[in-house]
Chain A
Amino acid sequence: MRLVLAEDHALLRAGMIQLLEANGFTLLHAAVDEPSLVEALRDPDAEAAVVDVRLPPGQSDEGLRAAIAVRTARPGFPVMVISQYVEHLYARELLASGDGAVGYLLKDRVSDVAEFVDGVRRVAAGATVLDPEVVAAVMARRRDEPLDRLTQREREVLALMAEGRANAAIATRLVVTEKAVAKHINSIFTKLDLSAADDDHKRVRAVLAWLRV
């Protein structure tokens, strides 16, 4: 898979390149600042991007803005956004920029190489991968309609769906069978009035509803 990477710290950039190439990704461009990222994202060969939120020259949220911009220009373009800190507000903005194919992770999640690479692959395949810290923040908040209708277990399943986990992984985490997970997910879809679209799409919709985007 051909990737665009944007990371301004030289050491981290080198590390990420090494890590991604070792796991079968092809690095098309490694951008160091906002202009070079915007330029790299114009490359029609790029299939996905891994973008740091804070980039020169402004050192604020240029990466995030570029990610949202490219998803407006190329709907459904998969972007994994990484950052030193996660902000609920940014998660909402990213999720609102299109249906799925978006990830938002803390930079230090990269240290769990297998999980991070898996996350990038899932995003590229159209899934939504949110950092557990964002998920925890949302969990701590008020539950409201129509999420009030979900049971405690269904909420747990939904939270893990938001982290981008597959049914098998959710089953392992909650120590239940995959069949039980599938049952919970179906129940969630029904309670959130998601019946029309295909299954993958519904997963994303459920997560969006949960984040009140």
Chain B
Amino acid sequence: MTTDEHVDEQVDEQVDEQVDRTPGQLRLTGYVLAQLALGIVALVCAILTVVGAALMVVWVGTLLLAVSLPLTRLIADAHRRMAADVLGLDAPRPYRALPDHPWQKLLTVARDPMTYRDLLWCVWACTLGWVYALICLLELLVVVTWPLWWWGLGYQMRLRSHVDLWFLATSHTERLEKRVAVLTETRADAVDTAAAELRRLERDLHDGPQARLVALSMSLGLAEQLLATDPDGARRLVGDARETTSTAIGELRSVVRGIHPPVLADRGLVGAVQALALDMAVPVTVTADLDGRPPAPVESAVYFGVAECLANIGKHAGSSSASIALTHDGERLRATVADDGVGGADPDAGTGMLGLRRRLAAFDGTMTVSSPTGGPTEVVLEVPCDLSSPRTTPSSEPG
């Protein structure tokens, strides 16, 4: 029974997919016409590019390429969009980012493997692809084949789109390469951040509690000496020693807070964020709707992120109230920190925000800032993660 239901669901899904995603016959026919027209442009592009490359030694070749390459990308983009629409997929532009300088631009384009795939695609689009499009159009023009046009065009266009995307979309390997590049970068950042944190900890401990303990031991040593000869002096020193101990404990406490706030360990993200909100000078509303707890490292990163945002609100925003919302949509944990202050926050300006971005990047997380001059400011921190131990904690509390 369960299996049957499962199969039914699958079938339903497929039907839904076709109903939702496949464009109607008229739009498909429009695409066919566009492909016929652009096929001729593709022919021109292919010829111009080949001739241009051959004439690179004379300046005319460069000029030809300066026309043909952008044009190729333009029609390739158009086909990518059409194919993406027909298949209901997402087909982003796979090109490398271009520098400003014209010569460097040309060099980048020449080194981009997509350039050559575009060129190959042009050859297909103006030959077999063009004929294919022509056949599709003939189905409409030759009246007796209307049933074929009506029922079959969708499938034909899907096939065509697959072929187009085979040329034009990023391959699996390229996606992996990009992913590796991102991972390498974020891992380096994560290692740097961790090393910097350790250095900071070492310095905090060295300058704070460690120095106090040395002073403490000296005070006690002196007191020990004075005990027989000058009991009053000894008592004073012991009193000093006790004071030094208190200071050392206080410093240790602040170091611990910087590593992992105890309230975060005790109460999780929601409780810890509520505690942060309580310590703000302006009223902060916290709303949370999380079915469980995110993994500890993510909790910590988001906690420090929210803390950074709140610190910025306290320092710069000049706002009269703020709000924090914690949600999870099944894939991503989202923390939205908003205030009604003056706005104009530049996420690239402060080292704090930069550090925050890096910290989140280690988890494939992102930070988006919307802060028009005049406000309001909204910072959204997003980290993909699962929640553990289902537990509903909807709560709303003014801080």
Known: A60-B265, A60-B266. A89 touches B275 (CB 8 A): yes
Q: List 10 A-B contacts (CB under 8 A).
A: A84-B256, A85-B256, A87-B262, A88-B275, A108-B245, A108-B250, A111-B245, A140-B281, A141-B281, A144-B283
Known: A61-B267, A108-B245. A85 touches B278 (CB 8 A): no
Q: Are B242 and A61 in contact (CB under 8 A)?
A: no
Is B263 interfacial (CB 8 A cutoff)? yes
Contacts of B265 in A (CB 8 A): 60
Is A137 interfacial (CB 8 A cutoff)? yes
C-beta contact mask, B251-273 vs A, less than 8 Å → 1, else 0?
00100110000110111000100
Known: A61-B266, A89-B271, A111-B246. A137 touches B279 (CB 8 A): yes
Is B249 interfacial (CB 8 A cutoff)? yes
B389, chain A: closest CB distance, angstroms:
14
- Across chains A and B, the number of contacting residue pairs, with CB separation under 8 Å, is 47
B341, chain A: closest CB distance, angstroms:
14
Contacts of A61 in B (CB 8 A): 266-267
Q: Which of A89, A108, A111 contacts B278 (CB 8 A)?
A: A89
Known: A108-B245, A140-B281, A142-B282. A85 touches B253 (CB 8 A): yes
Q: Are B274 and A89 in contact (CB under 8 A)?
A: yes
Is B205 interfacial (CB 8 A cutoff)? no
A207, chain B: closest CB distance, angstroms:
16
Q: Are A88 and B266 in contact (CB under 8 A)?
A: no
Q: Are A108 and B281 in contact (CB under 8 A)?
A: no
Is A74 interfacial (CB 8 A cutoff)? no
Q: How far is the CA of A140 from the CA of B265 in the complex (A)?
A: 25
Is B55 interfacial (CB 8 A cutoff)? no
Interface of A is mostly: loop
B392, chain A: closest CB distance, angstroms:
19
Q: Are A85 and B282 in contact (CB under 8 A)?
A: no
Q: Which of A53, A88, A90, A108 contacts B279 (CB 8 A)?
A: A88
Contacts of B267 in A (CB 8 A): 60-61, 89
Is A201 interfacial (CB 8 A cutoff)? no
Is A92 interfacial (CB 8 A cutoff)? yes
Interface positions, chain A 48-91, Cβ under 8 Å from B, are 53-54, 60-61, 84-85, 87-90
Q: How far is the CA of A84 from the CA of B248 in the complex (A)?
A: 13
Which residue of chain B has the shortest Cβ distance to A144 in the bound complex?
A: B283
Contacts of B266 in A (CB 8 A): 53-54, 60-61
Q: Are A85 and B275 in contact (CB under 8 A)?
A: no
Q: How far is the CA of A212 from the CA of B245 in the complex (A)?
A: 33
Is B385 interfacial (CB 8 A cutoff)? no
Q: Are A141 and B242 in contact (CB under 8 A)?
A: no
Known: A85-B257, A89-B274. A141 touches B262 (CB 8 A): no
Contacts of A141 in B (CB 8 A): 279-281
Interface positions, chain B 276-304, Cβ under 8 Å from A, are 278-283
Contacts of A87 in B (CB 8 A): 262-263, 275
Q: Which of A85, A108, A137, A142 contacts B262 (CB 8 A)?
A: A85
Closest 4 A/B residue pairs (Cβ): A60-B266, A89-B275, A61-B266, A108-B249
Q: How far is the CA of A144 from the CA of B320 in the complex (A)?
A: 12
Known: A60-B265, A87-B262. A92 touches B278 (CB 8 A): yes
Which residue of chain B has the shortest Cβ distance to A61 in the bound complex?
A: B266
B89, chain A: closest CB distance, angstroms:
47
Q: How far is the CA of A175 from the CA of B210 in the complex (A)?
A: 36
Q: Are B281 and A142 in contact (CB under 8 A)?
A: yes
Interface positions, chain B 190-230, Cβ under 8 Å from A, are none
Q: Which of A85, A106, A142, A144 has the most CB of B within 10 A?
A: A85
Contacts of A112 in B (CB 8 A): 242
A198, chain B: closest CB distance, angstroms:
30
Q: How far is the CA of A110 from the CA of B267 in the complex (A)?
A: 26
Q: Which of A89, A111, A140, A142 contacts B263 (CB 8 A)?
A: A89
Contacts of B280 in A (CB 8 A): 141
Q: How far is the CA of A140 from the CA of B278 in the complex (A)?
A: 11
Q: Are B278 and A88 in contact (CB under 8 A)?
A: yes
Contacts of A85 in B (CB 8 A): 253, 256-257, 262
Q: How far is the CA of A87 from the CA of B277 in the complex (A)?
A: 12
Contacts of A53 in B (CB 8 A): 266
Contacts of B257 in A (CB 8 A): 85
Which residue of chain B has the shortest Cβ distance to A211 in the bound complex?
A: B278
Which residue of chain A has the shortest Cβ distance to B247 in the bound complex?
A: A108
Contacts of A90 in B (CB 8 A): 263
Which residue of chain B has the shortest Cβ distance to A59 in the bound complex?
A: B265
Q: How far is the CA of A142 from the CA of B399 in the complex (A)?
A: 11
Contacts of A142 in B (CB 8 A): 281-283
Q: Are B262 and A84 in contact (CB under 8 A)?
A: yes
Q: How far is the CA of A54 from the CA of B266 in the complex (A)?
A: 9
Which residue of chain A has the shortest Cβ distance to B398 in the bound complex?
A: A212
B261, chain A: closest CB distance, angstroms:
9
Contacts of A144 in B (CB 8 A): 283
C-beta contact mask, A79-122 vs B, less than 8 Å → 1, else 0?
00000110111101000000000000010100110000000000
B320, chain A: closest CB distance, angstroms:
9
